[in-house]
Structure 1
Amino acid sequence: MAIHRWRFVGIFILLAILGGAAMVMWNFIGLLLVSFAMAYIIYPLAGYFSGGNRKAGRKYLTACLSSVLLVALPVIYIMIYSLNVILQWLIENFGMIQSGSFTEGLKSGLDSAGFGVVSERLGSELGRLISSATDALWTQVTQPTWFLETSISLALFFVATFYFLYEGPRLMELIKKHIPTREKFLHELMSTIDKIFYGLFIGHLLTSVIIAGLAAVGFWAILRPPLITLGFLVGMMFVVSFLPLIGPWLMYVPMGLWYMALLPGGTMPGILILIYGSLMLTIVPDFYIRPKLVRRDADIHPLLILLGFFGGPFVMGFKGIIIGPLVLGLAQAIVMLYIEKRHILEDLFKRL
């Protein structure tokens, strides 16, 4: 009886420790997932720098540090520069937004651009959205610890990326080493999960980053917009290019037609936007970049990505943008594995 009692106490302590660890880690789950995605994306780069040698040691350590720094330095510079532009714009326009004159100017601009009777409603909705966003941003940046918290989060992101990158190969070897050879289902599951990670992080996330970069170059060369407008356009391009069935055309086609039809002197910029968008944002990514990056059996069903992208944030907040598609993609992998490899799973249940 005493042995069973102490066994129960041991299990309780173990569960309490694991539960406490999960509660602490939950606040960082979004950061860790983004770090994992970044490490997965730059993993081939670290292999290239190390000459294919991924054994723990100075050579691979240096390769991982170089890969992370190659990404971190431009990202930090862009974030600081973008933050400076956003704060300057916010300081200059915050009072006008709060007073409502910004919304009135937006309505007038939409009416002049040819939106007609819908300009009143559209201007009001956009003005309310911009006002809410600026309120939230102003509240955030005026907190005394905001800069410190942001700096710590950014540092944790790159440190976690480095450790995922450096320890990843040994972690996978450890997992595979402790899975018995006869457990075919677990081996198939590991392989399928790797394909889902590849399809989501490389096939969709990395391709979207490349498309957003191409859009930034093209929009800047053709339109020369204010930097805050360029940042908004590039961010929206990343979102629409990440989502299947939508794609970059949802942005550059309306933009090109709007410039051609409604703006004085906008015919040539509109034509250039349509040509550049068709060639560099649709044809090149779909027929060259994506096929080079994605294996045919690694893709996730488009509907699951859409549901995960829009449904994840409702359940898990901002981190759900990544967790949602990932969880649904893994669910797809398990279901398809059961359908295609049912005999392996049945053998596993028989042994149990």
Structure 2
Amino acid sequence: MKENEYRFLMRIFVLISFLSVMIIAFPFLDTIAFACAFAYMTEPFFSALKKYTGRTLGAILCILMITVPAIILVFLILTDIFEFLNSLDYAGFVDYTVQFINYIGLQNIAKEDLSSILSEIWNFLKPTVNKMAGQIYGLPLLFIKGLVTVFLTYYFLKDGYRFKDAVMPHVPEVYHVQTELFIRKLHEAYKNLFVVNALTAFTVGLISIAGFWAIGLPNPVTLGALSGILTLLPIVGGWTIYMPLSVYYIAVGMYSKAILLFGFGVLFLSLAPDFVIRPRLVNHESSIHPAFALVAFLMGPLALGITGFALGPLIMGTFDAIFRVKNGKDSIINLK
């Protein structure tokens, strides 16, 4: 057999092997994405622990202390949110909204117009809500995927640093510098999206749950989770939760609760994330563009369901890294 024929056959074999792996892994694509997300979110704690415990024990401790409780908490929060959304009384909500609008002096807005607007919004969102809820309630498969996520997160933490060493031998030497730069930018993009934005949102969610519970709001877990999720989105943020609630409590005459809620929201849900939490996690110069974050954390879940919470940031992080990688005048997308 000639050398050229051997190389051709080997390339065919490698391609078939790669496609076979993709077919096997595709049903668990969401599991791999969440494992990658949890590994990045846990990595700061792992980096601190491994100096004293080593990589293996440090990864196990991170799984037990952070990743498993985080998965359980996220599951409970998402379940609470979807149960709340599925149980909404749409007609009663429209009537109550119209009464509130009339109360504040905007009687010129017709009930039919408002009902039509709210109906269109709900008709747009309901399929996505039902799809996500269906994913949550598939308990047997969800349990299996949860276990796989835990084990994959462990191995990503323990052996993730070997990724570059496994890739580089297969890259032509002429592209080594650009490939190493791309891998570094990819790591920075994922770190910003998961460690900075996701961890900031997670922290804000926990603070919100505690604050809303202390203030005495109903459904503090649901409201706190929504506050954390909305923190992921540029411009939107937690104010979209505490501002309408503050206005509502003013309208019903509960002024002290309104003032307390407004003060808590401004201090801990608006100022703290942007001026305390996020700056401590990343330098401004290396942050992800707000448009990328918006697509990753909003459009990802709308397009892909629950999977989009992890897969959206992975896709947009790769896209961001491609356009950040430059070596002189050449870009990684113009390799020759």
- TM-score above 0.5, yes or no: yes
2:233 corresponds to 1:247? no
2:164 corresponds to 1:164? no
Query: Is the Cα contact below 8 Å between 2:301 and 2:308 reproduced in 1?
Result: yes
Query: Is the Cα contact below 8 Å between 1:35 and 1:161 reproduced in 2?
Result: yes
Cα distance 1:120–1:233, how it changes in 2: closer, same or farther (>3 A)?
Answer: same
Correspondence for 1:223:
216
Cα distance 1:331–1:130, how it changes in 2: closer, same or farther (>3 A)?
Answer: closer
Q: What is the Cα deviation at residue 196 of structure 1?
A: 1.1
What is the CA deviation profile of residues 54-74 of structure 1, one whole-angstrom value per residue up to 9, with x for unaligned ones?
A: xxxxx4312211111112443
Identify unmatched segments of 5+ residues in structure 1.
54-58
Query: Is the Cα contact below 8 Å between 1:199 and 1:299 reproduced in 2?
Result: yes
Correspondence for 2:60:
65
Correspondence for 1:38:
38
What is the CA deviation profile of residues 151-199 of structure 1, one whole-angstrom value per residue up to 9, with x for unaligned ones?
A: 1111111111111011113334555688769943233222222221221
Q: What is the Cα deviation at residue 267 of structure 1?
A: 1.6
Query: Is the Cα contact below 8 Å between 1:252 and 1:273 reproduced in 2?
Result: yes
Query: Is the Cα contact below 8 Å between 1:199 and 1:300 reproduced in 2?
Result: yes
Correspondence for 2:50:
50
**Structure 2 residue corresponding to 1:194, chosen from 174, 179, 187:** 187
Identify unmatched segments of 5+ residues in structure 2.
none
Mapped to 1, the partners of 2:169 and 2:289 lie a distance apart of 31
Q: What is the Cα deviation at residue 10 of structure 1?
A: 3.6
Cα distance 1:89–1:290, how it changes in 2: closer, same or farther (>3 A)?
Answer: closer
Query: Is the Cα contact below 8 Å between 1:185 and 1:344 reproduced in 2?
Result: no
Mapped to 1, the partners of 2:183 and 2:4 lie a distance apart of 36
**Structure 1 residue corresponding to 2:222, chosen from 226, 232, 242:** 232
What is the CA deviation profile of residues 290-343 of structure 1, one whole-angstrom value per residue up to 9, with x for unaligned ones?
A: 1110123321111222234444456655433443344334333332333xx324
Cα distance 1:38–1:105, how it changes in 2: closer, same or farther (>3 A)?
Answer: same
**One-letter amino acid of the structure 1 residue matched with residue 261 of structure 2:** I
Bigger drift between 198-207 and 102-111 goes to 102-111
Bigger drift between 310-319 and 63-72 goes to 310-319
Q: Classify the secondary structure of the residue corresponding to 1:334.
A: helix
Q: Which has the higher contact order (CA 8 A, sep 6+)?
A: 2
**One-letter amino acid of the structure 1 residue matched with residue 58 of structure 2:** A
Cα distance 1:137–1:302, how it changes in 2: closer, same or farther (>3 A)?
Answer: closer
Correspondence for 2:270:
282
Q: Classify the secondary structure of the residue corresponding to 1:319.
A: helix
Correspondence for 1:56:
none
Q: Classify the secondary structure of the residue corresponding to 2:325.
A: helix
**One-letter amino acid of the structure 1 residue matched with residue 11 of structure 2:** I
Correspondence for 1:27:
27
Structure with the greater alpha carbon radius of gyration: 1
Query: Is the Cα contact below 8 Å between 2:205 and 2:225 reproduced in 1?
Result: yes
Query: Is the Cα contact below 8 Å between 1:110 and 1:123 reproduced in 2?
Result: no
**Structure-2-length-normalised TM-score:** 0.79
Q: What is the Cα deviation at residue 105 of structure 1?
A: 3.0
Identity of aligned residues (%): 23
Cα distance 1:184–1:73, how it changes in 2: closer, same or farther (>3 A)?
Answer: closer
Q: Classify the secondary structure of the residue corresponding to 1:152.
A: helix
Mapped to 2, the partners of 1:308 and 1:133 lie a distance apart of 16
What is the CA deviation profile of residues 181-226 of structure 1, one whole-angstrom value per residue up to 9, with x for unaligned ones?
A: 9943233222222221221112211111111111111111113313
Query: Is the Cα contact below 8 Å between 1:46 and 1:63 reproduced in 2?
Result: yes
Query: Is the Cα contact below 8 Å between 1:259 and 1:266 reproduced in 2?
Result: yes
Query: Is the Cα contact below 8 Å between 2:68 and 2:150 reproduced in 1?
Result: no
CA RMSD of aligned residues (A): 3.8
**Structure 1 residue corresponding to 2:93, chosen from 94, 106, 121:** 106
What is the CA deviation profile of residues 133-162 of structure 1, one whole-angstrom value per residue up to 9, with x for unaligned ones?
A: 7866886788xxx32111111111111111
Query: Is the Cα contact below 8 Å between 2:233 and 2:298 reproduced in 1?
Result: no
Query: Is the Cα contact below 8 Å between 1:204 and 1:242 reproduced in 2?
Result: yes
Mapped to 2, the partners of 1:21 and 1:60 lie a distance apart of 27
**Structure-1-length-normalised TM-score:** 0.76
Matched ranges for 1:189-338 at <5 A: 189-226=182-219, 230-260=220-250, 262-263=251-252, 265-313=253-301, 316=304, 318-338=306-326
Mapped to 1, the partners of 2:270 and 2:197 lie a distance apart of 14
Bigger drift between 152-161 and 7-16 goes to 7-16
Query: Is the Cα contact below 8 Å between 1:256 and 1:270 reproduced in 2?
Result: yes
Q: What is the Cα deviation at residue 24 of structure 1?
A: 1.9
Mapped to 1, the partners of 2:249 and 2:128 lie a distance apart of 27
